[in-house]
Structure 1
């Protein structure tokens, strides 16, 4: 039962916000207030789990659970609870978890102390979302308090070199995607096409053929009824099928449900620079089966990315340098958008702070309210940790590693709006320095509040032998005891950014000052040669530009004439003579920002991010192949963990059109 005593905040939203919230998140609810009540109440129920009286109140009545000892600075009675361990059937696991949720709600109704605790936290969570200061990832908004109760956006699944292992990965993919999650895979273990299979005396069909199975699985699943399926497929540069992998998406409509990336490292980049060869390794035999010239493979990657936007690149050694639990496993893959490197079977729930809401003062002269930001970081860390506890994980293996590492991904959105409000050009030296300054603050406070939460709830169970354990060979010099193995991520925030009323997703610049945005249904219509319905398209004019233009009497023009000039100028304002240069400088679009500055901004944020950064390096149609090459070299130099380039028009459908 939801908390009916909660005082609602009045929530004012635009037509486009209303469209996306209704399209993606409202089902039983009729209003955004009801949506945020449902989510905030459900996530606040997790507070009961950590109360010392929870078991006495009946938390585990009629629930099968395994308890894992949790580390504290001082001995405590609280434990980490696994609900799926030893329960084979999905239906039995769902029933068991449903009993747990029923117990939480009964305790909330019957125990005054529990009710007060939940109501207090719900108010904090609700107000944070109602002000659009913070929003969790879409699966949490869609599923919290509903039957699915699957709240994570990101999963990585292992793909072993066996039919049984591949079948298990396909089953896991289907369970995750039907409930709204995205999946990442490394196909590095699969033996190459033509390799002998001793058990059957047959011939292996190869890694790419099995990738097609995972792509087809996504085709037949509609995620949670509302989300398009998404996958990441990664293959390392040393795999025998690397050439076919690099070029497969440049050949037209293939693997459309996959982003693909080549895993490379500093050893490969050094070989590129010296025009050297390297060994191709059969992952089954672990033996060298040939050599390739690194520069030739690198050129293939560059040319294919220029032609089709795929593959991206993943600097896997950079990623594993930041792996907090290397004693468990190396990281081999990321989630579909690349911002969340994860161990096999690991999942992560994300949330983003709408940074533009924390700028106070007159537009273009604003200052960041660090006190308000710090309080929101504290509340968001608790919110995301609560999600881990009340999440119904689709598989036993996922619940085990998630609850023992407790990774979360707190990031930001609305960076472009933030820069306008502060009067700092997005692509200026000052803007890049400001990115380091603000993200450094967020990352530091996220660690502090995760450590504070650990004093209350316990350190993440896999802390021993982690990079934070001073007695471990993996120790990195920072002896801290956080609740969460990693804490910060920059996600693309596509849908939640629109829901928050933003035109700047994640840390991206504005795509255009006026544009048409297509949702998934509109893109499907375009693919089938049909005109999208109006309800599936969103026309937007940048609200901050509109406000500034109005204050400046539309720069001596009427509004219609001004927008016509913007329209003819590729929907950008840089280059419109009537608009003063200082205002032009504040509103660069994705194609106004130089390729070098795109990467410098990504690198600035990456310096203060535990996980990784999702950012697209936008290029104009006339960009050269050499531009992509220079991108990759600079990204490696600046310590980026991955990179995706997109040359305008290289794909037939785009989510945003100018």
Structure 2
């Protein structure tokens, strides 16, 4: 509902839902009635402007809009219903009047409230008094007096160790919202909601809210496990251990947990549980765990946070010689947030169906039986929470001859519609949407129709609105774009070997096929201008968010596994680059190092990073042997090559901790050096595991076996592509000769070791920035499956506090400017640079930082590109730059048109509305960019100059855009 207070605009649905109730000053509870807000505001206008004000269309429209906005605000705050105090409603009325610039009316309203408060006090009524006599309804329906002492204990415990939070205010404001007979959960809800509303005042209130939420979690789990009816934070120091033991017994009895967990020394593991780590959660992080991760029975969550981390650790340590020692080591890493396993691992580790892997890549052969077998494999893999990447290039194009029926093929697109509907029908274990991405090479004759799959117009039978698509682009195509030459489209039915060729071999064979079209040997083809097809790729990416642009040749030329096959696609999130074939489904197991946790005293702690990486690689390698494989081709591939994907998250937080702006050479250098250290330690860890456990089966013949590390493989890409078309920094700071020698002697345990995934959900759990992303906004409301959460940049708040700039005016300014500090004059320039948001960072900085990381990574990275003032030229510049700087893949395009950049004509009524509109992954159709410019050399497209554009962002959520299926 539009709640902007705009004169002349009639609101809709102004009646608040019946489940909202109001506590009056005398303690009575009545249903919420939005009309009473309208009456009160109208009286305030009449008091200032005279009796005729009530009939004024300006006043009537304003009052209607304001009433609707206030009702909607309370609904968002309490979507499941709840109670409000009359003073809360009056506070919002007062605030609405002030925000709208109606200062005289607001002043009259304030004076009216004060006058009536004095009158009530003089009459001896309305003084808040009855709290000690309030009764609480227990879970069994019995009633007992409200234990104010326990309420204060919960709140003061929740505020312990946090600066700038006021436990007394939380208690006092919460008590206003309680009524006689309130449920036990209602008391907790009131405490949480009070703390939650204060998050925008100080980010530490998100920790307070999370700690208050723990009271609900403990009551639900402990009572179900028959350990205790409820418990405070302090009491959990003693109760976690018996709760853990009871949980293991119940979980096995319910046939939810692996029976082997009972074979562990539960006494020792119970002693290792650290209840103080419950205090580290943000509200968003803990609510996410509760809603989506905790194991439940009959909709009762009986798993507590530290128990969950220990369950995951035990599941990963099942095959270790010292199971308890390793489980504790793994638990320490997870519960400290130094590292977080991927979502499938968190879901399923230690359970009876241990599907722990994140990504599956398949190649679809060109025959009907194999096509539907591949779709069946998609369904089985999706059922157990895997993200899917399908290579569809081998399937013959529209118009190709079908020998068996003497007919002509309908091409790839009709099959992709079936894939789309399968992903909808078979979601990931009933926990989240199924997710799949189809890849097609840019020479495929169906490529032009493939580009339009996500359009909202055209024949819906040839549209796939629920799946992702990606271009698999050969270097030769990009060269033709640069050189303004023609490009020929073929059917794989007549040119099947192009699918398995790359680099110089692909170029040679492709040109031979082109010559065959000129001699008449090849009949089915189409010739287009390379730039025209490139322009259409960018136009569709801009209009629909798809297909993403990924690059075939760097993925193959830098792959350690060139001797065993070809990389035919990436995965759902574009960070996995593994070989696939009809006999092998590539599998990757993901986890991410939290960089922010490794910045100590403003510097990256290399020793700590090394410890984390070594343990993380061991955990990832363990997944391969423990994992449940839904199809045999996945097991065969994973056991043979043993790839893992160690990534990073909290990159932006680490920059803040260093005092570095994202849009700077210092940030690019930090991206380079931090990834070098992760790469160094990860490769060494895998090599040491090989010495302990043995090399992976296909090691001989790999680049590893030839002494070629990821940093070295850049030379092969340069050689095959040509120096004219590539510029990659190859500087190093570590002693890589030592690692080469170790790998030569010991081998590698894993064919691939690194990949940077989106970390959409696990970064929420850890309370840090997603993956390698810049800050989205400094103040906004995040919406996801768990609800709405106010997100405030704590680093920014602390810096503003140090300079005496954090106050109500600053909060309101940030709301008005959608979380941006750039238009706020009193913010110093150095802080404006440091706290530039995603659309305020020129895309060249994102690409350059990604290029520096890519040189260290044996797979790829999920790189979202944010472009403000988008135009055809700017898209062209950015994506050419990505290819030129050696990137393997790109992910979502976030486009913000020039007309959406400035707020010069925004109505004052929306001045304090927290921005919640993120650019959509699949935006509504917009005018396609048509001003793709001629490149004038490297400097031109590296400059990243802004163009003009007209596309406004549409509402969406970053969790949905970032691939949850992987992380």
Alignment TM-score > 0.5, same fold: yes
Match of 1:73 in 2: none
User: In the TM superposition, what is the alpha-carbon distance from 1:358 to its structure 2 partner?
Assistant: 1.0
* Deviating more after overlay: 31-40 vs 195-204: 195-204
- The answer to whether the 8 A contact 2:675-2:856 is kept is yes
Q: 1:385 aligns to what SS in structure 2? A: helix
Corresponding residue for residue 494 of structure 2: 285
How far did 1:607 drift? Answer: 1.5
Question: What are the Cα deviations for residues 329-360 of structure 1, in whole angstroms up to 9, with x where unaligned?
Answer: 11111111100112220100000011101112
Partner of 1:43: 316
Structure 2 residue matching 1:248: 3-state secondary structure: coil
Query: Alignment partner for residue 210 of structure 1, among 388, 392, 415?
Result: 415
Residue 515 of structure 1 is matched in structure 2 by 780
Q: Which residue of 861, 886, 890 maps to 1:643?
A: 890
| 8 Å CA contact retained: 1:388, 1:402 | yes
Secondary structure at the aligned position of 1:341 is classed as coil
Q: Deviations over 1:481-524 (max 9, x none)?
A: 1111111111110000000111x1000001111122222x4xxx
Q: Deviations for 1:189-229, whole angstroms, at most 9, x for unmatched residues?
A: 11112323221233322101111111100111120221222
For the 8 Å contact 2:863–2:889, the answer to whether it is kept is: no
Where does residue 18 of structure 1 map in the other structure?
286
Contact 1:435 1:604 in 2 (8 A): yes
2:749 corresponds in structure 1 to 483
Instruction: State the shift of 1:561 in Å.
Output: 2.1
- What is the deviation of 1:30? 2.7
User: In the alignment, what sits opposite 1:133?
Assistant: 338
**Mapping for residues 618-637 of structure 1, pairs under 5 Å:** 618-620=866-868, 622-637=869-884
Shift of 1:636: 1.1
Which 5+ residue runs of structure 2 have no aligned equivalent?
Answer: 1-260, 297-301, 496-512, 514-521, 716-739, 897-918, 925-953, 960-967
How far apart, in 1, do the equivalents of 2:955 and 2:569 lie?
A: 26
Distance in 2 (alpha carbons) for counterparts of 1:455 and 1:316: 33
Aligned partner of 1:360 in structure 2 is 600
Are the counterparts in 2 of residues 271 and 294 from structure 1 also a CA contact under 8 Å?
yes
Displaced runs of 4+ in structure 1, greater than 4 A? Answer: 474-479
Query: Hey, what does 1:55 align to over in structure 2?
Result: none
**C-alpha distance in structure 2 between counterparts of 1:258 and 1:276, whole Å:** 32
Render the CA deviation track for 1:545-578: whole Å, top value 9, x for unaligned.
Answer: 223333333x1x52x3212111112211233222
Q: Deviations over 1:356-397 (max 9, x none)?
A: 011122xxxx11111111110111011100111100111111
1:177 — aligned with what? 382
Q: Does 1:655 align with 2:864?
A: no
Are the equivalent residues in 1 in contact too, given 2:642–2:696 (CA < 8 A)? yes
1:499 equivalent in structure 2: 765
The residue that corresponds to 2:573 in the other structure is 337
Instruction: Determine helix, strand or coil for the equivalent of 1:333.
Output: coil
Asked whether the 8 Å contact 2:757–2:771 carries over to 1, the reply is yes
User: In the alignment, which residue of structure 1 is the partner of 2:481?
Assistant: 272
Secondary structure of 1:353's counterpart equals strand
Q: 2:357 aligns with which of 144, 147, 152?
A: 152
- Residue 187 of structure 1 corresponds to which residue in structure 2? 392
SS of residue in 1 equivalent to 2:375: helix
Residue 416 of structure 1 contacts residue 508 of structure 1 at CA under 8 Å; is this kept in 2?
A: yes
- Do the aligned residues in 1 keep the contact of 2:540 with 2:546 (CA within 8 Å)? yes
Query: Offset of 1:322 from its aligned partner?
Result: 2.0
TM norm structure 1 = 0.83
Aligned to 1:528: none
Q: Cα RMSD between the aligned structures?
A: 2.1
Q: What whole-Å deviation, never above 9, does each CA across 1:299-352 have from its counterpart, x for those lacking one?
A: 111121122221211110000012222222111111111001122201000000
Say yes or no: does 1:609 pair with 2:860. Answer: no
2:793 to 526, 538, 542: 542
In structure 1, which of residues 30, 33, 38 is the aligned counterpart of residue 306 of structure 2?
33
**d(CA) in 1 for partners of 2:335, 2:573:** 27
Tell me, yes or no, if the aligned pair for 2:780 and 2:818 is still in contact at 8 Å. no
Does the 8 A contact of 2:537 with 2:547 survive in 1?
Answer: yes
Distance 2:787 2:369 in 1: 41
- CA contact 1:515–1:656 (8 Å) conserved in 2: no
Please give the secondary structure, in 1, of the residue aligned with 2:840.
Answer: coil
Matched, 1:588 2:856: no
The alpha-carbon deviation at position 536 of structure 1 amounts to 2.1
CA distance in 1 between partners of 2:290 and 2:802 (Å): 33
- C-alpha distance in structure 2 between counterparts of 1:150 and 1:330, whole Å: 26
Residue pairs, 1:344-493, within 5 angstroms: 344=580, 345-361=585-601, 366-470=602-706, 480=744, 481-493=747-759
The answer (yes or no) to whether the contact 2:538–2:872 under 8 Å persists in 1 is yes
- How far residue 471 of structure 1 moved from its aligned partner, in angstroms, is 11
| 1:119 paired to 2:359 | no
SS in structure 1 of the partner of residue 862 of structure 2: coil
Check 1:656–1:564 CA distance in 2 against 1; reply closer, same or farther (3 A cut).
farther
Distance across 1 between alignment mates of 2:803 and 2:344? 42
Q: Who wins on radius of gyration, i.e. which is larger?
A: 2
Does the CA contact (< 8 Å) of 1:606 and 1:613 recur in 2? yes
> Is 1:552 aligned to residue 793 of structure 2?
no
How many angstroms does 1:653 deviate by?
Answer: 4.6
CA distance in 1 between counterparts of 2:825 and 2:317 reads: 53
Cα distance in 2 for partners of 1:8, 1:638 equals: 46
Shift in Å, 1:583: 2.0
Q: 1:305–1:646: 8 Å Cα contact kept in structure 2?
A: no
Larger % of helix: which? 2
Asked if 1 retains the 8 angstrom alpha-carbon contact of 2:451 and 2:540, the reply is: yes
5+ residue gaps, structure 1? 49-116, 522-534
- 2:949 aligns to what? none
Question: How many pairs are equivalent?
Answer: 566
Counterpart check, 1:306 vs 2:608: no
Q: Say which is worse superposed, 224-233 or 336-345, in terms of deviation.
A: 224-233
The DSSP-based 3-state class of the residue aligned with 1:342 is: coil
User: Secondary structure of the equivalent of 1:424?
Assistant: coil
